[in-house]
């Protein structure tokens, strides 16, 4: 599984939504320009993105915890990977 900035999972049996988001790096004007130029000139993950930091195998293990409906363990696993986690009630439509 490729790490991305936002992961969102719905747990209908609990009526919850599980959201994990990667913190945005603080960027000054010059670092923003450098990151933008790197994105235009070179292929690969942007500096500060989870693609270059998060181990795909560890992310897959964290997702398996969600699939197993172990919310507490999944929250801890995503937090250890560097994500900010939010679990909230989600009404089914």
Indicate the burial class of 39 (C-beta count within 10 angstroms; 0-12, 13-18, 19 or more): middle
Give 3-state DSSP helix, strand, coil % of the chain, rounded to 5.
Answer: 40, 20, 40
Angle at 4 between CA 46 and CA 61, to 5 degrees: 130
Show the tokens assigned to 2. Answer: 């490729």
pLDDT along the chain (93 residues), means of 10: 87 91 77 69 67 90 95 96 93 62
pLDDT at residue 64, rounded to an integer: 96
Domain ranges across the chain: 6-24+32-89
Total-model pTM: 0.77
At residue 3, the pLDDT reads 84
Beta bridge partners of 16: 11, 89
């Amino acid at each position: 599984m490729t790490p991305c900035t936002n992961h969102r999972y719905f747990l209908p049996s609990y009526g919850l939504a599980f959201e994990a988001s990667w913190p945005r790096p603080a960027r000054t004007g010059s670092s923003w320009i450098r990151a933008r130029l790197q994105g235009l000139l070179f292929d690969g993950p942007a500096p500060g993105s989870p693609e270059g930091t998060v181990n795909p195998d560890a992310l897959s293990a964290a997702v398996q915890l969600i699939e197993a409906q172990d919310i507490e363990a999944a929250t801890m696993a995503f937090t250890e990977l560097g994500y900010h986690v939010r679990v909230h009630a989600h009404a089914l439509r």
